[in-house]
Chains A and B, each alone.
Chain A
Amino acid sequence: MSFYASNDRIWLKNTEGKVIFDTDKPMPHIIQEVTANVSVTFPAVGVSVKRVWWVTPKSIRCSALEQVCGFERVCGYERECMNIGGTITCQDVWRCHDEYVCRWETVYHDEGHIEETFSYTEGEWEQTFNIANVVGGLNADFLLVNAMATRTKRGELADVGPLPCGLPLGQWFIANNTSIVECSSDIRNGNPWMTRIMSVFVEGGKIKVQFKQSNRSFESVSRWQNSACSLFGWDIPSPPGRPPPPGGESRYTFQLKIQVGKFTI
């Protein structure tokens, strides 16, 4: 061990020669411990059903054997005989007339289609809570944060279904200083399209927790189709199996244990 003291510096070394204290190197210490419970509702993303229409003319899927009736011009030779001076003379004469005719025929009708997807509108949202003032009006240098999350409502979005949350729910976890709460990716390429985070930080002498959510506009890969033949009218209902548009609202309560720290000079 060695102890060194001069007018402007004091330091200590242990028996291995390692410096364990030095007035030239400030040391961190905890000036405040804060606990808090914060509940948050990550809002639903704006979503609507997008319906696309199109028609297949004279679709084979909409064919039917039908009796088709109408006037037709019917022509043919008719034997016409005349008595001229006691002599009967006959000849074939070409004659035409209109006749009402019915036939069984395959008729091809138009087929109407709809396709429905979920269309999400882009949105940015944030909510900030003041947890406490930093004690003594001090300017904090750092935070150490443990958190425990309880999910009270699990959101659901198109394509991915129930939203995954990678936090160990109901257990303490390291939460320095931002945590990703939920992230939903575009299943076509894996790029995130909706992300929710929690940040614990110091600003303006206050300890704050901020929740942020961001999503861009998005059209689901999941889609549902339905068709109908004009024979039966065009009032095509929503495709079978399509669920109500999921907006993804999730609710959490976070229990926070925060150590507020500062360095000596």
Chain B
Amino acid sequence: MAKKLYSEGLTGKVVIYDPSRPAAVTNPLANLDKVYFHSDLNYVGVAAVLEATVTHPARTRGGPATQHEYRQPNPVEGQVQSLTHNLGYVPHAIAFINDNMLPANTQIQHVGSSFRTVAIQLTTTNVAIYETSYVYQSDLPAINVHYRIVLFSPITPSGDKTLHITPERFIASKGKLDTEKNYIRRVATGTPNLWFSKGKTADVANGSFRIVTANGTTITRTPYSGAFAGEPGIGVEI
């Protein structure tokens, strides 16, 4: 299919589109099936990728002589690790917990009735690993968990170059398309860096749950009895 690169000096607009639909230049949202790139679109950029291996400490029930009763667990809630991004806004993000895009508050450890969950907390300056542990009859030993959190940002134009091509750099539409930035692209084959999803990633039935992550991992906790299959995510590379 033919592709046309169109650059408009007055507005700074740059479009790569199928020339069989000229309206794609002026109204990209209504003609997305003919748009390869349009500087009016709000592309998803990668602001930061934060990684850390966190040692979640052992959580005990308080001592062998003072075994907790069922109704008196030893609860611990709070941040166990904070990673700085200093973006100045609360970014949208995708988190990998040991290479899986697990839902917030997923159990990462359970021994008997004792369990440990994590959620990824976001602020304008930090990303925090938020742990919740409830220790009933069994102690929770320390565990190491690897976290990779991809923070997104809109790609905002800056400068005044509508089309700038040198041997070192390509800039279009005031930096909306810039060889010095990282763009996310769909991966048809190979191993994606992360996955986008529009569907549910967990279900409940018979009191328990099944998780089907956007990257295709299935975690079923007995006695889940449903038939949730999830919805495949779209793999992308950075």
Task: Say whether A and B bind each other.
Answer: yes
Which chain A residues border B201 with CB–CB below 8 Å? Answer: 176-178, 199
Which chain B residues border A257 with CB–CB below 8 Å? Answer: 90, 92
B198 touches A138 (CB 8 A): no
Could you tell me the dominant secondary structure of chain A's interface residues? Answer: strand
Q: B94's closest neighbor in chain A, by CB?
A: A176
- Which residues of chain B (163-201) have a CB below 8 Å from chain A? 165-170, 177, 179-188, 196-201
B105 touches A25 (CB 8 A): no
The answer, among B37, B113, B214, for a CB contact under 8 Å with A187, is B113
- Which residues of chain B (56-99) have a CB below 8 Å from chain A? 70-73, 75, 77, 90, 92-95
B132 touches A164 (CB 8 A): yes
Q: A45's closest neighbor in chain B, by CB?
A: B207
Evaluate whether A176 and B197 lie within 8 angstroms (CB atoms) in the complex, with A187-B113, A197-B202 already known.
yes
Evaluate whether A264 and B206 lie within 8 angstroms (CB atoms) in the complex, with A12-B179, A176-B201 already known.
no
Say if the beta carbon of A93 comes within 8 Å of chain B: no
Inter-chain contact count A-B, CB under 8 Å?
285
CB distance from B1 to the nearest CB of A (A): 6
The interface on chain B, measured as residues whose beta carbon lies within 8 A of the other chain's beta carbons, has a size of: 98
CA separation between A177 and B112, bound complex, in Å? 28
B170 touches A265 (CB 8 A): no
Say if the beta carbon of B25 comes within 8 Å of chain A: no
Say if the beta carbon of B26 comes within 8 Å of chain A: no
B115 touches A185 (CB 8 A): yes
Say if the beta carbon of A193 comes within 8 Å of chain B: yes
B16 touches A23 (CB 8 A): yes
Evaluate whether A124 and B113 lie within 8 angstroms (CB atoms) in the complex, with A176-B101, A180-B105 already known.
no
Say if the beta carbon of B100 comes within 8 Å of chain A: no
The interface on chain A, measured as residues whose beta carbon lies within 8 A of the other chain's beta carbons, has a size of: 88
B42 touches A27 (CB 8 A): no
CA separation between A176 and B231, bound complex, in Å? 13
A30 touches B42 (CB 8 A): yes
A177 touches B199 (CB 8 A): yes
The answer, among B43, B90, B93, B199, for a CB contact under 8 Å with A29, is B43
Q: Which residues of A are in contact with B by a Cβ distance under 8 Å?
A: 1, 3, 5, 7-10, 12-15, 19-23, 25-31, 122, 124, 135-136, 138, 140-147, 159-161, 164-168, 171-181, 183, 185-197, 199, 201-202, 210, 212-216, 218, 221-222, 257, 259, 261-265
28 residue pairs of the A-B complex, CB under 8 angstroms, read A1-B170, A5-B5, A8-B1, A15-B179, A20-B181, A20-B183, A22-B185, A25-B185, A26-B185, A29-B41, A29-B44, A30-B42, A142-B198, A147-B104, A161-B70, A166-B131, A166-B132, A168-B128, A172-B90, A172-B122, A173-B122, A174-B95, A183-B117, A183-B209, A190-B112, A212-B204, A214-B205, A214-B207
